[in-house]
Structure 1
Amino acid sequence: MIRKHYKLLFVIPFLVFSYACKKNTEPIQVTTDNFHQSVDKVVEIMVHDIFSPPVASRVFAYPNIAAYEIIAQNDSAYNSLNGQIKHFGAIPKPKKKVNYPLAALIAHIDLSKQLIFSEQKMEEYRDSLYTVWKTKNEKEFEEAKEYGLEVAGFIANWMNKDNYAQTRTMSKYTVDSDIESRWQPTPPSYMDGLEPHWNKIRTFVLDSAAQFKPIPPPAFSMDKDSDFYKELKEVYDISLQLDKEGDTSEKIEIAQFWDCNPYVSVTRGHLMFAVKKITPGAHWIGIVKIATKKSESDFNKTIYAYTKTSIAIADAFISCWDEKYRSNLVRPETLINKYFNDEWKPILQTPPFPEYTSGHSVVSGAASTVLTSIFGDNFDFKDDTETPYGLPVRSFPSFKAAADEAAISRMYGGIHYRAAVEVGVGQGRKVGDLVVENIKMIN
């Protein structure tokens, strides 16, 4: 009997040790859902931190590129961006065989953490994943982590030369209230013009911020027969019609669906607070998620779609902001309050930067063009991106149709003239076409 007890004392620790060893050598499987969750976490933190639309586009682009470059190392179907983006070089190669999807996800998380403000939120998310992966297979995790962080460091070094840091110290926008055509800060917060130097940010594919410089807006004039006056009056007349239609108006629903204003000031008595939402770029990143899920894209194609779209979005913002502070056009709200109705308010809160061209229109034109090149011309989808903000799902027969609706929504919302949305969506499509033609990511 005593011998049996001795045997058990040796056998039980051996079984525990064997189980532990087996548990710690389980292969780590990284899925498309894992990557979507990482992107979603970044969006969640960006909403909390209140990033302006142009800055948000930068936060998407670099982490996606880091992840893409890693998967391209191990999949001959995909081409590196080395040499395709003229100022981008080859990332380091792994010194040993690694779990490439895991390394890609680690690089995405690490670089995202460097770009947001609330780093602790990203660290908590990262550490929860690290704990799971380390438990499954510590050796595989550590090797993938080493490589993922090495690539993230390489991309960060390249990223930090894009002039973003320099623009943080440049002068604020100067308001010239003596020239009526020029942009003026708008109610209720009367904020300074956002990112007046964004055209100095290094582009990805554009040869310069002004490559697709659009035609000028209609010449400013309050003559009732002028094109400019007619466009201003059109915005006001649309708002009056929508007031009659009330909550039953689909145009109001469209305006609210595509609002995507990351900072809406709300005044209640003596209190003023912010309602936070996603940016226009984040909405289209959400559409990437919808498209990859519907098409059942694998891990590598999912990262490819996110990366190519985010590059187009980033260059679209640079192109658009270059024109905004060139034409420096006054918003409808300023003129309608002065000439038509001093109590008038647009359906959407006017964002704090010049009017022409429409940022959402340019970005939508660019993103929809790239997505069409990836998923096809008549890719129908249900857009539930705005459901977290209490808005219903909208259905679209194609990415182009979604972009057209996003553009016209700015007129329905009372924040843009017709020229800004029509010229803007065309400007964006030119950016998108350039990305499609110049960035050959698939063999």
Structure 2
Amino acid sequence: MKHLKTKIYLFIIIGVLASCNKPAEHIEVSPELFHMSVDKVINIMIHDIFSPPVASRVFAYPNIAAYEIIVQNSSEFQSLNGKLNEFTPIPKPEDLKGINLELSALIAHMEISKKLIFSEDRITVLQDSLYNEWKITNKVEFEQSKDYAFEVIKHIKEWMDKDNYNQTRTMPKFTVDTDDPSRWQPTPPTYMDGIEPHWNKIRPFLLDSAQQFKPESHPEFSLVKGSKFYEELMEVYNVSKEITKTGDESEEIAIARFWDCNPFVSVTRGHFMFATKKISPGAHWIGITKIASLKTNANVEQTVNAYTKTSIAIADAFISCWDEKFRSNLIRPETVINQNIDPDWLPILQTPPFPEYTSGHSVVSGAASVILTEIFGDNFYFEDDTEIPFGLPVRNFKSFYNASSEAAVSRLYGGIHYRAAIDNGLDQGKKVGYFVAKKLNLSK
């Protein structure tokens, strides 16, 4: 019996010693972790109420950093070197041994995202949880991968800080021209200043300039019956009247609400005013990117590639669109209708605080749909559940182009855009998308 106990103790000691000498496990980074990081950033931007253009910038830089790290060992994708404006190669480690590139990419994504948002603590909670887990799994691999990630972060941040964003923070507010009836005026209920009037000064990622895909001009402002502008104005008014006959049950109203994506919606209750927080247009398409990646079981490289290309297209689409918005400076339907047709009319959606032409949703949706079609193919059926957190049901689409067309026309149903802004905006966005797709043909 004594000998048996001795043997048992020996086995226990040997087991303990063996476990102490057991090699640390490799840290596995799944596509789900990248989706988690992106989702966290979206939720924080909703909380912080980022404007749609600024939100597009927040998506692009972290994805680019992650992509450039990951493709160093890729057999499928090439680097962005020589593609992006003023972008120089990221630092390369002397020896990749001991560095987990997928881990470095995820760390870079979270760290750069944290530098671009306001509520940093909300992403720090996620980081701390993951970092503690990775330290337990393999502290050496974690530390080496993190050190390399921070080398890349420093490089990306130096490039990022030269895109004129900081300079535009000090530029003057947009001046409203009240003497010209065709010019944009702030709209109810908050009558906010026009947001980001200097966004066309932001350095594009791929475009030669903000003006590269300048759309054709909108119909000349006119209240003369029979004029093109008047026809488009009355279309907004009449469509609104028609689709509200049956209350909130019409398909058109459902479409308008599904694609609202307005982070600036204000609600008044007596003497109180508060904002209902919603996703931005770009974030909705980033959500669709996630849906497509999950449906195709995309691996980490493929997931990061999809996010990166789509976010670059969205960012450049906003620069292109905002360049036109504050050049044409066109008045919104709500203002014209209230002043000249029906003082009590209200659009179904709240009018966002910037000029009308072209439609931001149309431009961004057009650009994103081209990139996603290029990556995942045409006739890609998907169920869009992006708006479920905001109390809206799933909508089904037979292709990305189908979704972009619906997103564009939703602005007419919502009563916030004329037909020209929708159609020309969608065309403008697709031109941006085709340009980005051609420049970012990175498959090996």
Q: 1:384-399 counterparts in 2 under 5 A?
A: 384-399=385-400
* 1:139 to partner: Cα distance: 0.7
Paired residue type of 1:19? S
Q: Is 1:124 paired with 2:131?
A: no
The whole-number CA distance in structure 1 between the counterparts of 2:166 and 2:216 is 31
Paired residue type of 1:422? D
Write the deviation string for residues 395-441 of structure 1: whole angstroms up to 9, x where unpaired: 01100010000000000000000000000000000000000111222
The whole-number CA distance in structure 1 between the counterparts of 2:330 and 2:426 is 18
Q: How high is the TM-score relative to the length of structure 1?
A: 0.97
**Aligned match of 1:59:** 58
SS at match of 1:382: strand
The whole-number CA distance in structure 1 between the counterparts of 2:378 and 2:193 is 40
Q: Is 1:19 paired with 2:19?
A: yes
Q: 1:265-344 counterparts in 2 under 5 A?
A: 265-344=266-345
Paired residue type of 1:301? Q
* 1:247 to partner: Cα distance: 2.1
SS at match of 2:143: helix
* 1:105 to partner: Cα distance: 0.4
SS at match of 2:383: strand
Write the deviation string for residues 369-390 of structure 1: whole angstroms up to 9, x where unpaired: 0100111111111100001101
The whole-number CA distance in structure 2 between the counterparts of 1:231 and 1:380 is 32
Q: Is 1:92 paired with 2:91?
A: yes
Farther-moved stretch of structure 1 (76-85 vs 264-273): 76-85
* 1:278 to partner: Cα distance: 0.6
Q: Is 1:75 paired with 2:63?
A: no
The whole-number CA distance in structure 1 between the counterparts of 2:64 and 2:56 is 13
**Aligned match of 2:48:** 49
* 1:253 to partner: Cα distance: 0.3
**Aligned match of 1:105:** 106
The whole-number CA distance in structure 2 between the counterparts of 1:240 and 1:18 is 77
Instruction: Write out the 4+ residue segments of structure 1 that deviate beyond 6 Å after TM superposition.
Output: 1-11
**Aligned match of 1:170:** 171
The whole-number CA distance in structure 2 between the counterparts of 1:139 and 1:187 is 57
SS at match of 1:247: coil
Paired residue type of 1:282? A
* 1:18 to partner: Cα distance: 4.2
* 1:123 to partner: Cα distance: 1.0
The whole-number CA distance in structure 2 between the counterparts of 1:373 and 1:157 is 31
Q: Is 1:405 paired with 2:406?
A: yes
Paired residue type of 1:135? I
The whole-number CA distance in structure 1 between the counterparts of 2:89 and 2:254 is 46
SS at match of 1:267: strand
**Aligned match of 1:204:** 205
SS at match of 2:73: coil
Paired residue type of 1:365? G
Paired residue type of 2:400? F
Write the deviation string for residues 336-371 of structure 1: whole angstroms up to 9, x where unpaired: 111122121111000000000000000000000010
The whole-number CA distance in structure 1 between the counterparts of 2:350 and 2:111 is 34
The whole-number CA distance in structure 2 between the counterparts of 1:281 and 1:117 is 18
* 1:28 to partner: Cα distance: 0.7
Q: How high is the TM-score relative to the length of structure 2?
A: 0.96
Write the deviation string for residues 230-256 of structure 1: whole angstroms up to 9, x where unpaired: 111110001111220222200000000
Paired residue type of 2:123? M
* 1:218 to partner: Cα distance: 0.5
Write the deviation string for residues 241-278 of structure 1: whole angstroms up to 9, x where unpaired: 12202222000000000000012100011111110011
SS at match of 1:337: helix
* 1:3 to partner: Cα distance: 11
Structure 1, unaligned stretches of length 5 or more?
none
Tell me the percent identity: 63
* 1:73 to partner: Cα distance: 0.5
The whole-number CA distance in structure 1 between the counterparts of 2:343 and 2:400 is 38
Paired residue type of 1:217? H
SS at match of 2:246: helix
Native 8 Å contact 2:382 2:398 kept in 1: yes
Write the deviation string for residues 80-99 of structure 1: whole angstroms up to 9, x where unpaired: 11111241111111233211
What is the RMSD computed on CA atoms of the aligned residues? 1.7
**Aligned match of 2:352:** 351
Give the count of matched residue pairs: 442
Farther-moved stretch of structure 1 (362-371 vs 10-19): 10-19
Paired residue type of 2:327? R
